Structure 1
Amino acid sequence: MFSPSQEELCALNKEPVKYGELVVLGYNGSLPNGDRGRRKSRFALYKRPKANGVKPSTVHVISTPQASKWKMDCMKDDPNILQVGSVMGVEDKVEHPSEQSVAISSKGHHSISFTLSRSQTVIVEYIHDKDTDMFQVGRSTESPIDFVVTDTISGSQNNDETQITQSTISRFACRIVCDRSPPYTARIFAAGFDSSKNIFLGEKAAKWKNPDGHMDGLTTNGVLVMHPKGGFTEESKPGVWREISVCGDVYTLRETRSAQQRGKLVENETNVLQDGSLIDLCGATLLWRTADGLLHTPTQKHIEALRQEINAARPQCPVGLNTLAFPSINRKDVVEEKQPWAYLSCGHVHGYHNWGHRSDTEANERECPMCRTVGPYVPLWLGCEAGFYVDAGPPTHAFTPCGHVCSEKSAKYWSQIPLPHGTHAFHAACPFCATQLSGEHNCIKLIFQGPID
């Protein structure tokens, strides 16, 4: 539900209305080497000065051998955007090459095209929609992409030097269309328009004709969406993963990401994004936060205050008796001398020490000197990305085995979210570093020792 306070706030500060934000899972506040331009860990969608949305118009059915040649000339060399379908409109059969070139080569209009056979192609023209704004997400750095997203590598070794042999994220992965009037509803669609304002598909695309006669299709590796039950709050529960079609319909998942057979239509669900909706692009997962939801989310200042508060309590290593302190947010990737470490099987927090190894083979398996429990021993990192918090509670729990720390309810929420992995697997992962979670509950309550004096 739209919050009037957001509109009032924007009017007061003379700022554009914010529709919401997309936050990429696996990054703790910023990309490893810093946010740059359209490539960043977090992207805000604002109401544009002028509407740039489009809506379907005329459908051209081209029944001529020339259609195949035209498709080969125009198709971009990108296997990840081959499976796309058409939308609604008034069918207009074009039989002559001269008419065909006018119908499908117009640079002024956006269009979605799909190939039924070598001799038949359907082009759906899109016209300007003054009531919506469109934002596009994908791997391409071309101008139509508003938010450039690359493959997320799990774990702390996330950096620009890590090479992706072959990305599974589409160059033009998806588009989000927002209503320019309250309540500023945001809808997601698979695939995005390229620099020629086109979306293409191939003969082998997963496509079909709906009962009402309209065509639809899926992208190669699919755009999956999960809406949490109960919104994005302390009481939230995981929802069910679905696949979104090019026209925005909702389907059950295919057997694998790129299977030719689509899932079943889920008629009682929509492509409307909710606060906390997750969008998976097969290589990166994005969290959608509404503007209203962000107003009730902890801020960076709040997280910094929590860090200072826990440090002010002067937690101590129970063995070395030295005072521990979480490093400042701008040094969140550098292990410091006072860094708190924890045994993740029991939760006891210590300072760093180099003893307690149980074997030479399991270098990270240590025995806790407090309770003799054996398990991973890792430095603790404060979760700095405020968008991942479902509440404003103190940082009391750590994800296992990465050691990122956040509030109890936030840790327990993410610990039960099955995130897509590969072509058909799902597993829970830390939202701050994308490391696959393990252990009995995927997270552990931390046990700090206060100062003896």
Structure 2
Amino acid sequence: MLQPNQHEHARSKDPVKYGELVILGYNGSLPGGDRGRKRSRFALYRRAKANGVKPSAVHVLSNPHDSKVRFIQHIAAAVHCGIVRVRDLCLQAVNSRGQHSISFTLSRSQTVVVEYCHDNDTDMFQIGRSTESPIDFVVTDTPGGSKESEDSSSAPSTISRFACRIVCDRNPPFTARIYAAGFDSSKNIFLGEKATKWKNPDGHMDGLTTNGVLVMHPLGFPEEPKQGAWREISVCGDVYALRETRSGPIRGPLAVGESSALQDGSLVDLCGATLLWRTADGLLKSPSLRHLDTLRLELNAGRPQCPVGLSTLAFPSLPRSHSLEERQPWAYLACGHVHGRHDWGRRPERHREESVCAGSHGECPLCRTVGPYVPLWLGCEPGLYVDAGAPTHAFVPCGHVCSEKTGRYWAETPLPHGTHAFRPTCPFCSAPLAHTHTHTRLIFQGPVD
């Protein structure tokens, strides 16, 4: 057994946790399971050795005979059959020195290359669709919570291969900052001629990615959370108001006084997936998976009954919460009355299995209210909760169950959708919520004995 001083020494050896990123829409795990760098949540820990970078030298290359690239021009000419592009030469010149760089192509004859040098005080984590080694957290497009979205996997992804990077201070208070775009396998970020880019008054270059990296910092999260304004983050980490459309050519106005520093509850949208940032301190205050399971057991201990079949209902254990079970609670979401699975008031012979399993509309036997009739699913991703309250409310129309405060917060949080629209969605499955009746209070029937 460890002695007290050994316990203290063991704790000091624990890695420093900066926070976690949770992808909205997966309710605790990817459909095929979390594997390696592709998972529904990703924890950021202080690295054994700092890998952060910071800007250093700036080079303006205006012709292929620049002294920095002259020594590789012959190789490039051979590869390109005599046609040498300034961009290619810039990248080779910088990469030949093993340094990170950001290349801003202003025209076919001029490129600005900003070199980055090692930073001993920061750790860098990269996020994107690519599975190449520079990406720490592989993120793919999130289904929209409907049957139609399952076929969207064949559509081109709108998430960048190297979407963004988060840079964390290695020393307290371990501030995490987000930047658009990530360095590729050649340690380069390349903004081509058509990319939105500019020179700031202080002289440094900056730009935006094609579909943008949007961020929303809430106020008072999670105690009294209120939504902040959605902003766009530049490649160099400045904050701007949104463009007219997601990929518009003109940047929005600079959001003076606003920061790219992530805070507990910040949302990051990559145009295809939305991530929630939870700080290490925030996670300590949020409910654990064990607590959520305790709430489930307490709910089941009340022996809720189906008023039609008079059977006892029970929520399945959280690891099995993705498949329907015989005693699964169902609810009429227009009124909130909880039932078991039944076909009262419907035509059982017509598309019975398809309509019942996927959920359908029907008339509640208790109050005759007509509305969605769906199975209920417990929200089992702890990071999405803003409190540890009992599971009393369900989102409409998907039927995911959570606390009242959590349901109200997400129902009032519009998430980016498409090129310029915003809509509230269920954080557990990404299904768009109903326009007027986003969540409902559940009414359970107790046992009759």
TM-score by length of 1: 0.88
1:130-159 Cα offsets, whole Å, 9 max, x none, are 000000000000000000000001116599
* Residue 314 to residue 229, structure 1, CA distance change in 2 (3 Å): same
User: What are the equivalent positions in structure 2 for 1:101-120 lying under 5 Å apart?
Assistant: 103-120=93-110
Judging changes above 3 Å, is the alpha-carbon distance between structure 1 residues 163 and 102 closer, same or farther for their aligned structure 2 residues? closer
**Structure 2 equivalent of residue 51 of structure 1:** 50
Residue 429 of structure 1 is aligned with which of 421, 425, 431?
A: 425
The answer (yes or no) to whether the contact 2:221–2:386 under 8 Å persists in 1 is: no
Taking the aligned partners of 1:348 and 1:101, their CA distance within structure 2 comes to 63
Does 2:203 align with 1:219? Answer: no
Question: How much has 1:104 moved relative to structure 2?
Answer: 2.6
**How far off its partner does 1:105 sit?**
3.6
Corresponding residue number in structure 2 for 1:356: 345
Measured after TM superposition, the shift of residue 164 of structure 1 is: 3.4
Q: CA RMSD in A?
A: 2.6
Q: Partners of 2:247 and 2:310 in 1: how far apart?
A: 55
Amino acid at match of 1:306: L
| 102-111 vs 278-287, which moves further | 102-111
Please say which of residues 102-111 and 48-57 is displaced more in the overlay. Answer: 102-111
CA separation of 1:428/1:10 partners in 2, compared to 1, >3 Å: closer, same or farther? farther
- 2:311 paired residue number: 322
- Letter aligned with residue 403 of structure 1: G
Q: How far 1:439 moved relative to its partner?
A: 5.1
Structure 2 regions of 5+ residues with no counterpart?
1-6, 77-85
CA contact (8 A) 2:122 2:167 kept: yes
2:391–2:403 contact (8 Å) kept in structure 1:
yes
Which residue pairs with 2:235 in the alignment? 246
- SS class of match (1:237): coil
Distance (whole Å) between structure 1 residues aligned to residue 403 and residue 162 of structure 2: 36
Give the aligned partner of residue 82 of structure 1.
none
Partner of 1:141: 131
**Equivalent residue in structure 2 for 1:199, among 180, 189, 192:** 189
1:342 and 2:323 matched: no
In structure 2, the residue matched to 1:36 is: 35
1:66–1:119 CA contact under 8 A, matched in 2: no
Find the partner of 1:285 among 274, 279, 286.
Answer: 274
Equivalent residues, number: 420
Residue type at the aligned position of 2:63: T
- Report the equivalent of 1:4: none
Assess, with a 3 A threshold, how the Cα gap between structure 1 residues 158 and 128 changes in structure 2: closer, same or farther: farther
Q: Specify the alignment match of 2:260 in structure 1.
A: 271
Cα shift at 1:397: 0.2
**Letter of the 1:401 counterpart:** P
AA partner of residue 315 (structure 2): F
- The answer to whether the Cα contact below 8 Å between 1:243 and 1:253 also exists between their aligned partners in 2 is yes
- Structure 1: runs of 5 or more not aligned: 1-7, 74-95
The CA deviation string for residues 15-64 of structure 1, in whole angstroms up to 9 with x for no partner, is 20000000000001000010010000000000000000000000000010
Separation (CA, whole Å) in 2 of partners of 1:129 and 1:327: 49
**SS of the residue 1:43 aligns to:** strand
**Structure 2 counterpart of 1:266, which letter?**
A
Q: Is the 8 A contact 1:400 1:439 kept in 2?
A: no
TM-score by length of 2: 0.89
Distance 2:260 2:434 in 1: 32
Q: 1:409 to 1:11 in 2, by over 3 A?
A: farther
Please give the residue correspondences for 1:51-450 in structure 2 after superposition, counting only pairs within 5 Å: 51-65=50-64, 103-155=93-145, 163-233=153-223, 235-357=224-346, 364-438=360-434, 440-450=436-446
Aligned-partner Cα distance in 2 for 1:322–1:436: 32
1:14–1:164 distance in 2 versus 1, CA, 3 Å? farther
Opposite residue 41 of structure 2, the aligned amino acid is R
> Contact 1:150–1:169 at 8 Å: present in 2 too?
yes
Question: Quick one: structure 1 residues 272 and 11, their matched pair in 2 at CA, closer, same or farther if it must change by over 3 Å?
Answer: farther
Instruction: Name the CA distance, whole Å, in 1 between partners of 2:219 and 2:41.
Output: 23
In structure 2, distance between residues paired with 1:390 and 1:100: 48
Q: Given that residues 156 and 433 in structure 1 are in contact (C-alpha distance below 8 angstroms), is that contact kept between their aligned partners in structure 2?
A: no
8 Å CA contact 2:222–2:387 kept in 1: the answer is: no
Structure 1 contact 151–164 (Cα < 8 Å) conserved = no
Larger deviation, residues 153-162 vs 222-231: 153-162
CA gap 1:149/1:327 in 2 versus in 1, 3 angstroms: same
Letter in 2 for 1:217: G
Quick one: distance in 1 between partners of 2:91 and 2:142?
41
Cα 1:10–1:201 change in 2 (3 A) is farther
* TM-superposition CA deviations, 1:63-104 (whole Å, max 9, x none): 10468998xx8xxxxxxxxxxxxxxxxxxxxxx99x968843
**Any idea what SS the aligned residue of 1:163 has?**
helix
Tell me, in whole angstroms, the C-alpha distance in 1 between the residues paired with 2:9 and 2:306: 47
Letter in 2 for 1:163: S
Give the AA of the match of 2:27.
N
Q: Which amino acid aligns with 1:452?
A: V
CA distance in 2, matches of 1:409, 1:398: 11
